[in-house]
Structure 1
Amino acid sequence: MPESAPMIAATPDDAEDIAKLRDRLAQWMVDNDIVQWAPGEYPAATVAEEVARGEWFVWRDETHTLIAVVRVVWRDAEFWGADDAEAGYIHGLMVAPEWRGHDLGDRIIQFCADHTLANGITRQRLDFAANNPVLRKYYTARGFTELREAPLPPRFQSHGTINVVLMEKMLA
């Protein structure tokens, strides 16, 4: 297991691997009757645009295999609407299935908190499909407070999820 979270800024070469990991996890969700992501809904071209804006971070193991990623943005009107405020918005937190159980999720959330604070921002936010009680419990246990449910942006509603839970955590 890696000793520390060596998250680094993604490069254009990472976009395809990030999209493939998301599709792999989306297929796992479909196979396990979890209605959240659909394979193919987040293409590498979209990831590449976001990488170019400095939004994605990657974690590769010693063999350079992608094991985890996360996207951090400072505004998120698409999901938060009129309540869009400056915050470290966590999106696309993904851990390769073979790395589950190594506390990488917690370490990535801490990386996001540190990155947010380093940018002078003291609020962290995230969203997830409202029909996912596992994520609700997970993020609540990590100090996030549920603010409300909101409609999922239309471009993500094609596979049955219509609402997201919006959560927030104030950072010290």
Structure 2
Amino acid sequence: MVESAPMVAAGAEDAEDIAGLRNRLARWMVDNGIGQWIPGEYPAALVADETARGEWFLWRDKSATLVAAVRLVWRDPDFWGADDETEAGYIHGLMVAPEHRGRDLGPRIIQFCADRTLARGITRQRLDTAADNAVLRKYYTAQGFIELRETTLPPPFRGTTHVVLMEKLLAPAYE
């Protein structure tokens, strides 16, 4: 089993840093022809509202620089529609700062989300990725997610037109 990341709950004071990291990654995606995120489409005010609901978690290094962030929610009707009735830990906005890539932080963050999901008695993780992002589709498949279906990207996002909905069943830990 992969060790969980040292994530902590984000506060409103972290919203600017989280939105800034997302914009950095969005700019990189646009510059590299990846239609996933668009700079500016996820403002700090929205992140602040989500942190107030306890949805964002982050990882800072010893110098307090943001290393990674992730949003974990328990319902996701915008992306999953009627299938949202299924209890799951929905992963959104998994981000690793570019200078920290290649250190296997993604699997640790996914495991952190799995641990929180299992702690709620839920045995299913879900996420989405751009349908035309073959690299992320392959990555999430390697992390144990299976592709369930493709659907239209909901508003207000506009980085792509379609997303693939993916799911991973979690095995509860027994002592």
> Is the shorter-chain TM-score for this pair beyond 0.5, marking a shared fold?
yes
TM-score class, shorter: over 0.9
1:11-64 Cα shifts (integer Å, max 9, x gaps): 111000000000000000011111110000000000000000000000000000
Shift of 1:5: 1.7
Give the structure 2 partner of residue 72 of structure 1: 72
Shift of 1:154: 2.2
Alignment of 1:23-172 (within 5 A): 23-84=23-84, 85-157=86-158, 159=159, 161-172=160-171
Shift of 1:86: 1.4
RMSD: 1.1
Cα distance between partner residues in 2 of 1:12 and 1:45: 9
Distance 1:32 1:52, change over 3 A: same
Q: Quote the sequence identity (%).
A: 76
Shift of 1:119: 1.1
The aligned length equals 168
Shift of 1:4: 6.2
Gaps spanning 5+ residues in structure 1: where?
A: none
Cα distance between partner residues in 1 of 2:54 and 2:48: 10
TM-score after normalising by structure 2: 0.94
Cα distance between partner residues in 1 of 2:11 and 2:140: 28
Shift of 1:136: 0.6
Gaps spanning 5+ residues in structure 2: where?
A: none
1:50-96 Cα shifts (integer Å, max 9, x gaps): 00000000000000000000000001000000111210000000000
TM-score after normalising by structure 1: 0.95
Q: What secondary structure, in the 3-state scheme, does the structure 1 residue paired with 2:156 have?
A: helix
Cα distance between partner residues in 1 of 2:5 and 2:131: 28
Cα distance between partner residues in 1 of 2:29 and 2:57: 22
Shift of 1:100: 0.1
Could you list the structure 1 runs, at least 4 aligned residues long, displaced by more than 3 angstroms after superposition: none
Q: Which amino acid aligns with 2:23?
A: D
Q: Which amino acid aligns with 1:164?
A: V
